[in-house]
Structure 1
Amino acid sequence: MSSQRFYTGDEQGLVKVVTITEPVVVKPKRVRRGQPTPEAPPKPVPTVETWGIPDREKAVQFLCWDSEKKYLAVARKNGLVQLLDPKDGTVATEFKHTFGKEGKVDTIFVGLFASSESIITCTNTGRLVVQSIADHSKATVLDVGKDICRMRVHPREHHIVATGGKEQELTLWDLKALCKDTVEEETPEPATKKGKKNSKKAPAPAPAKEAEKKAGGPEARYKSKEILANGQIFKAKNVKNDHLDLRVPVWNTDVQFLNQYDTSRIAVGTWNHQIRVYDIKSGARRPAVDAEVGEMPVVAMANGKDGSEIVFSDTVTNVYSVDTLTGAIIGQYKGFTGVATALATFIPFENDSTAHLVTVAMDRCLRVHEMTKTRKLLHKVYLKQRMTAVVVGEYTPAEPAEDEEDGEVSNKKKRTEGEGDDDENDDDLWESMGKLEDKKSKKRKLAKE
């Protein structure tokens, strides 16, 4: 039997391991008349393993693998970031970020990435932290702007970071250059008698403000195409005014790199139900593709099997597939009764062209769809809590059973043993046919006489 594993996170702070086991389907033999019809193939059997204790303060906001797929990184509501062992869920290491409130808005994570050396996190306040795993005292804190809705790290070039948000255009940052210019290390020091910590931190200068000073103010910064803030390698430009000559509001909700080898093409989903694709190599700051998709804001995005397709969900129950070259909707995945909060695509079999889409939604279900023209729903698992994150685990292929191998061998033996019998039966048949001819000839002779 083959099995596929998924890891999910929910609002109760639980991490669940969902294993879907598909039984081996034996090809039915030819059914002859009078024989009973073969039984239907057995359905896949899902098993669910739960890690943790329900606690809303530890609600899972993001899940991801580290670059070597040894640990599972978890970002929680209370600012806790953990590395879990994917075998039993034990905590390998953890870090705590201090969260507060800015006005009426709570601080939340908007991005998570883990490599073998560091963990990169970002909050909606624009606080981007590069935390060393080996040395807990080393943490570089950077400012990437306010009202950030999504941060994503390039899958191969781990120093390239993309951000976007409310009135925050798509921006690419180079962490190597940014860390050289603005570095802030958090070193935990013992508390004083009054309970206050003696922390000496050099304030990190805002890169955007420094660039504005050099360029002569914010207006000059936006007029020039060449002037970028420290660490920025690309900053998008808003689209042209609408037909009423009014400014189009900027509200980017998700970002996705379409090419895993470079940063040539990037897709962005917006709150105003738009999918925009930027071609970085062309030098243009405005999107090469700007299409309205549906009528509701974009919630989450995931790459298709290649860079020409992207899948997104909105604030209702719609999950669409979009062509990134034209902006046209290719099709819709059905069967949802809640908002799909997280998407992921994967190819379960090696050297297979059929990709699968796994989603978790607010209706407390995990679904697996086939990414073909039919978009067939393959699996649906009810998980009790409202889900917020999902990642794809390992795939275990089916191994041939011993009985099947023995059966094949026995069939081969029967065939080889039966070859001589068939020849003898053929000889007997011809002899019997000859005897029949003799009988007919005798009858003819008797009739003549």
Structure 2
Amino acid sequence: MARFILGDELGNLKTLRYPSAVEGEAPQLKIVHQGSSRSSTRSVQALAVNASEESTIVAAGYSNGSAAMYSLDGDDTIDVLSEWKEPRFKQQYVGLGILPTSRSVISCTANGALRRTNASAGQEADVATLPARLCDWKLSSGGDAFAYGGEEVELSVWNLEQAFASRPPESATPSAAKKRKRNDVLLPGELWRAKNVANDKLGLRQPVHNTSLTFISSTTTSVHDIAVGTQLGHVRRYDTRSARRPVADWEKVAKIGGVKEVQKGLSEHELFVRIAGAVCSIATAPDVLVSAGLDRLVRIHSTFPPQIGQQDRKGEILHKIFSKSVPTVAAWDQHAVEPRNTVDEVEEAEVEETDRLWEEMEDAEDESSSRKRRK
């Protein structure tokens, strides 16, 4: 049974359990944590999920600048591990990440306030400052690097430890010539920075507006392959080992509103793109994809491995679940993955049952033919 975690406009945290086709049960959506009080309302802006051996660690960032870390058990029992508030918070949280080796949460806001918070009580948080006007921030699966992009902010990859250890030097306001030259110089802790694409057909500079990004490397130690969605509707793939400009550029993926979210699939060379519209968030799992919509419906879609010549094939909506409040963000819980051997055992049982039916049919034919001979 797959489990997804959702946040809504009222600050509630919910779990969505989707049983496999073998179990034959209906999806279940329920509230596990009440987020808002009578005096104030806060919506969930960002979610991060990390599966540990004992339970699932969930981090949530809210619209009032507060954030929290929770422990979610297999029976949907949730406990608060730590709560804090970002004093430099402005606009919204653009990214959350949980370090796989420790119970530490990395948070980033739209104005570039980077923070590392540990669940241990009494431990001070590490802070750093990134460029402002950010639209998306992602922590690598290995937890040693992160990437960000935004409005007039090029895609950039940083080392996590060096970002908190380094401090930018204080200097006077640079001139325009020095500022243009400095755009090619990496900041302390910065590993790589993209370069704007070539000018358009009229020779005009193309605006930089990266709205979403994701690491698409198949290994946890590699941070070289990154996919980026833009406000102009492009989906670009960058390889930090080869060039600063994109190695692939898919144009007009979204004609109106731009690309709001890019998610890596679990199959090789699989990428999901959310176009601006009624969908608030998407979450990918091995066999299904969950989307949260402004119409208060949580949809479960079927997925399939991409094949040559069938990139435009669409999945089907398997279920629609109504939510009393608008869901804002969704994430997949890897801790609740159904064991593979259970599915294999069911498939083997079905094959054995089919073979048994064929054998009985052959026996019936033999008996009927022997009766005809006796006559």
| Distance verdict in 2 for CA 1:49–1:67, change over 3 Å | closer
- Counterpart of 1:267, as a letter, is A
Map of 1:81 onto structure 2: 67
Aligned length: 334
Deviations 1:189-237 (A, max 9, x none): xxxxxxxxxxxxxxxx36xx77997xx8212223x5xx31111110111
Query: Does structure 1 residue 62 correspond to structure 2 residue 46?
Result: yes
1:144 aligns with 2:130: yes
**For 1:212 and 1:221, how far apart are their aligned partners in 2?**
12
**Any idea what the Cα deviations from partners look like across 1:294-342, whole Å, max 9, x if unmatched?**
31211111112345231111212xxxxxxxxxxxxxxxxxxxxxx2221
Aligned AA (1:383)? S
Alignment of 1:144-163 (within 5 A): 144-156=130-142, 158-163=143-148
Residue of 246, 249, 252 corresponding to 1:287: 246
TM-score of the aligned structures, taking structure 1 as reference length? 0.67
User: Does residue 382 of structure 1 match 2:322?
Assistant: yes
Q: TM-score, normalised by structure 2?
A: 0.79
Query: Aligned pair in 2 of structure 1 residues 178, 90: CA closer, same or farther (>3 Å)?
Result: closer
CA shift in 2, pair 1:278/1:81, >3 Å: same
Are the aligned partners of 1:212 and 1:218 in contact in 2 as well (CA < 8 Å)?
no
The code of the aligned residue for 2:116 comes to: V
Q: Which moved more, 1:52-61 or 1:82-91?
A: 52-61
Write out aligned runs for 1:323-342 (5 A). 339-342=278-281
Q: Which residue of 2 aligns with 1:15?
A: 13
* Mapped pair 1:278 → 2:238: yes
- The offset of 1:395, in angstroms, is 3.4
Which of 114, 120, 131 does residue 106 from structure 2 map onto? 120
Partner residue of 2:211? Answer: 253
Change in 2 beyond 3 A, CA 1:211/1:110: farther
Output aligned runs, 1:21-420, within 5 Å: 21-22=19-20, 24=22, 44-53=25-34, 55=36, 57-66=41-50, 68=52, 70-87=56-73, 88-98=77-87, 106-115=90-99, 116-156=102-142, 158-182=143-167, 205=168, 217-222=178-183, 224=184, 227-261=185-219, 262-282=222-242, 284-292=243-251, 293-296=253-256, 297-306=258-267, 308-316=269-277, 339-347=278-286, 355-372=287-304, 373-393=313-333, 394-396=336-338
RMSD of Structure 2 on Structure 1 (CA) = 3.3
Please, which runs of 5 or more residues in structure 1 have no aligned partner? 26-41, 101-105, 183-204, 317-338, 348-354, 420-424, 437-449
CA deviations 1:52-97 (Å, max 9, x no partner) are: 3463632111112136363211111122221222231221222222
Task: Flag structure 2 segments of 5+ consecutive residues without an equivalent.
Answer: 305-312
- Residues of 1 paired with 2:139 and 2:293: CA distance? 24
Superposed displacement of residue 24, structure 1:
4.0
Report the structure number with the largest CA radius of gyration.
1
Q: Distance in 2 between matches of 1:280 and 1:212?
A: 30
Q: Which digits, 9 at most, give the CA deviation of each residue in 1:254-310, with x for residues without a partner? A: 11101042012111111111111111111x111111222131211111112345231
Q: Relative contact order: is structure 1 or structure 2 higher (C-alpha 8 Å, sep ≥ 6)?
A: 2
Cα distance in structure 2, aligned partners of 1:24 and 1:313: 30
Once the 2 structures are TM-superposed, how far is the Cα of residue 379 of structure 1 from its aligned partner?
2.1
Structure 1 Cα separation of the partners of residues 214 and 262 of structure 2:
7
- CA–CA separation in structure 1 for the residues paired with 2:152 and 2:298: 33
Query: Residue 6 of structure 2 contacts residue 327 of structure 2 at CA under 8 Å; is this kept in 1?
Result: yes
- Contact 2:81 2:119 (8 Å CA) reproduced: no
Report the Cα offset of residue 50 of structure 1: 0.9
- Distance (whole Å) between structure 2 residues aligned to residue 268 and residue 281 of structure 1: 16
Q: Which amino acid aligns with 1:264?
A: H
Label 1:127 to 1:287 Cα distance change in 2 as closer, same or farther (>3 A). same
Deviation at 1:365?
1.5
Deviation of the 1:99 alpha carbon: 5.1
Percent same amino acid among aligned pairs?
28
